[in-house]
Each structure stands twice: as C-alpha cells, then as structure tokens.
Structure 1
Amino acid sequence: MTETIPQHTFEQHSVRGPFNAAFFAAMDPVLQRSLRPHKQRVFAGLPDTVVEIGSGVGANLRFLPSGGTLVAVEPNRSMHSRLTEAACQQGIELDLRERTAEDTGLPDRSADTVISSLVLCTVREPEAVLAEVRRILRPGGTFRFVEHVVAAPGTVTRASQRLLRRPWAWTFEGCSCERDLEGAVRAAGFAGVTVERYRIHTPFLPFNTQIAGVARVKGLDRRDLTP
C-alpha cells in the first residue's frame, strides 16, 4: 500500500527547531505567570482524553487530569523529547503524532476537546486548521484556545508588530503577530464562540495582545439519534 503524503508539511529547520524547543522550555515559568489565569479558565474540566494541536514542549500538560491521555499533534521533532519527558513527569499518557494542524490524520468526530495555545499564529492556513478542528470534534465538542493576536490600529504594539514581523516570523517558525484570530474563529462555522480579550505585560511587545476562548460544535439534534 502506498502511503498518502500529507498535503501540509513542516520544515525541520536545524537552527530554529532546537532554538524554539529550548526557548519555550526556558520561558515556561515566565509565560505561565502571565497566561495561567486564562488557561485555567478555558482549560477547566478537560476530559480524560484531549487532542492538542502544536503541543510544543508540553506547557499545557499541567491542565490535563492526572492519568489522562494527550493526543499531541506536533510536527517539530525538536520538541518531541522534552514533550515526552514532561508527559512522563505529569503522569499523562502521550499519543504523539508528527503531523501538522492542517492535517492531523485523526478520524472524523473522534475528539471531545481540542486545545491550542500560541499555535494559530504559526500555522500557514488558520482557516484550514479550524476546519480540521471542526472535522475531528464530536457533536457538542469544544475547541479551547489561548492565542496572541493583532493589536488595535494606531497603537505602539501594532507598530511594533508591523516593524518586527519578518525577523519575528523567521525566529519563531512562521509566527505572525498580525492575525485577527478572533475573527477567524468566529468565521469558522462553530455553533458558539466566547472570547476574552486581554493584554499581558512582557518585554516581547508584539506578543502582548491576547485572546482566550471556547468554540463549540453544534450538538446532535434529537432527530439524529438512533431510537
């Protein structure tokens, strides 16, 4: 049998990949101080099995129930060893898949919950990723996200995002600070979307405008249920 090559591929860069793995491992305590309250809110009550797109080095493992399972869709091989070690330390069973978020390879309607944090800024096609999330979610399932987004026009933060966009994108493997990700999630066809906008305070000015929220897939209509 000939294996179908995924349409979306990830470049395993010899410099950026290891740098990002080391960077996010080192910065985890700093990022958690800023993002923990928002993650605690949107990641509250996660089920025993969770799909995460862009699991990185495992920053969100701490929000999963002990003994649970993480289906980690992470294309960057440089992240894998740290992610595996972190899952072991947290007592989480890891199902690691070297795939992109646009093409997870998971079956239709196979997940109750999909999570992401600081991921939609890096993917090539956010709309394709959101369509993939909807495809794999079961009726009534949720997509829970924490992301950084474009700042308001005319602000210093917005000017810095525009000025630094090219070196920022190169360093952080395609990350864009100029995406209206709230608009993208709201336009993705979910049955309901709740979003909190907020600002964190770090030296990384382009990164400081953020959103956290939950998008829900429509539940089964009674007519869809088998008697």
Structure 2
Amino acid sequence: MTTRTAQPATLTTTRTRAPEDDLEEFDEHPVRGRFNSAFFWVMGGYINRHLHQRKSATFADLPPTVVELGAGVGANMRYLPAHARLTAIEPNPFMHSRLRRAARSWGVELEIRSVVGERIDLPDASADAVISSLVLCSVRDPDAVLAEIRRVLRPGGRFSFAEHVAAEAGTPTRWTQRILRRPWAWVFEGCSCERDLASVIQSAGFARVDLTHYRIHSPFLPFNTHIAGTAIA
C-alpha cells in the first residue's frame, strides 16, 4: 500500500438528527459507548491484521469522496485514497474524538454526521461510494439501512463491505454465537453474531452483488466468520 504523508484534516461541524425525526434514537450508553471507543482504539491493529487482506481488496480504488457507516474510531481511513473526503455516519458520540484524531493522522477531510444508518441525512443519489465494516451486525434494521445505502448512492455507485456473520448451523462457532448472543449484544452495542448478512445484502435490490465468505482465526470465536464484497446500485 502506498505510504501517505499525514497532514491536518479539515474538520466540519458534527451534525445531529433533527428533533422532529420520528426514528428511535441511538441508544447512547455512557459505559458501553466509552468501552467500545476504547476497545476498538486499542484493538484496532489486532483486528486489522486479521482483516487487512480482504479490506485491501474490497476497498481498493475508492473514489476521493466516501460515505462510511459506523466509522467508529477511523479504522478504515488507511484504505481511503490520499486526501480523501469522508462523511462519517457515526451516532456514538464517544467515538468522535478518536475519529477526528484518526482523520488528522491520515490527512482525511472529515465530516461527522451523528445519525443512525436507518436514516442517513444525505440527498438521494449523492454518493459515489459507501463503505462499512463490522457495522451491519449492530444496526436495528439491516434492511432499512441497505435501503438507505441504495437511496444515497448514485446509479452505478458502489457499496463495499466487510462484515462478520453467522457461522454455518451445527458448527461449534454457531453454537458459541448462540450461547453468547445476549452478553455479546449488550457489550458491543446490539451486535448480533447470528445475522445472515449475505442473504440480506443479496436481496436488497442492488444491480449486482459480489461477495466472498471467509474465516479468520482469533480467540473471539463468535467473531470469526465473515463476508466481504461490493454491491453496485
């Protein structure tokens, strides 16, 4: 990967959802929110070692302006083109300071929109590319989020994703996912290890979907089954 020289990022004002919006708010929890921000900041390098090869292929050749769902603490900024402009859909306010720090480090122009993925406050057909990683597992309504992604993508725009998914039925991994689903979901802000996200994405109405199933090997057994790919609007 090409090395980029870090430069100060242009940081715009964080935008929040209008009070009249009738969609349920993000469940802001001061303990979970802070824990997840710290966890993904500390564990980012470890997680990236496992996912780097797939992400490098999936996020290759992104355009200079990108929308990211659940940008978190900025783990995917390393995959953006030089001098990229990122609109980060990130409702967890405890992620924002680290997200801004990552933007400064990578020289990314950043705008944070503190809204949920089910109601992205961007115009129709306004985005060339949307990306996500380890996000669709935790949204309340994946179908609604994918409908929003299709809405904001221009015709021919791309949605590139790297997500963890349910293991095959009857396997030790699936058994572990089921046993741990409630504490896992509480700790990781609603994250479900039992979603068949491949089927959800394939049935979301995209013109074309290309994805690959793969497995990583980490001590976090429920997290080890993944998909990565791209869907074209």
Q: TM-score range by the shorter chain?
A: over 0.9
| Paired residues for 1:201-212 under 5 Å | 201-212=217-228
Asked whether 1:165 is paired with 2:181, we answer yes
The equivalent residue for 1:156 is: 172
8 A Cα contact 1:6 1:103, kept in partner: no
Of 133, 139, 163, the residue aligned with 1:123 is 139
Take 2:169 and 2:143, find their aligned partners in 1: how far apart are those partners? 23
Q: TM-score, normalised on structure 2?
A: 0.91
**1:151 offset after TM fit, Å?**
0.3
**1:6 offset after TM fit, Å?**
4.8
Asked whether 1:13 is paired with 2:35, we answer no
Of 65, 68, 77, the residue aligned with 1:61 is 77
Take 1:161 and 1:190, find their aligned partners in 2: how far apart are those partners? 29
The equivalent residue for 2:150 is: 134
Asked whether 1:44 is paired with 2:50, we answer no
Aligned pair count reads: 216
Higher relative CO (Cα under 8 Å, sequence separation at least 6) belongs to 2
Take 1:105 and 1:8, find their aligned partners in 2: how far apart are those partners? 15
Give the match's secondary structure for 1:102: helix
Give the match's secondary structure for 1:193: strand
Asked whether 1:146 is paired with 2:162, we answer yes
| Paired residues for 1:90-105 under 5 Å | 90-105=106-121
Q: TM-score, normalised on structure 1?
A: 0.94
Could you report, residue by residue, the CA deviation over 1:90-130 in whole angstroms, capped at 9, with x for unpaired residues? Answer: 00000110001111110000000000000000000000000
Of 186, 192, 196, the residue aligned with 2:208 is 192
8 A Cα contact 1:8 1:103, kept in partner: no
| Letter matched to residue 185 of structure 2 | A
Calculate percent identity across the aligned residue pairs: 58
Unaligned segments of structure 2, at least 5 residues: 1-17
Could you report, residue by residue, the CA deviation over 1:1-33 in whole angstroms, capped at 9, with x for unpaired residues? Answer: x85325141011010000000000010111111
**1:201 offset after TM fit, Å?**
0.5
Take 2:71 and 2:19, find their aligned partners in 1: how far apart are those partners? 25
8 A Cα contact 1:8 1:102, kept in partner: no
The equivalent residue for 1:35 is: 51
Take 1:137 and 1:67, find their aligned partners in 2: how far apart are those partners? 21
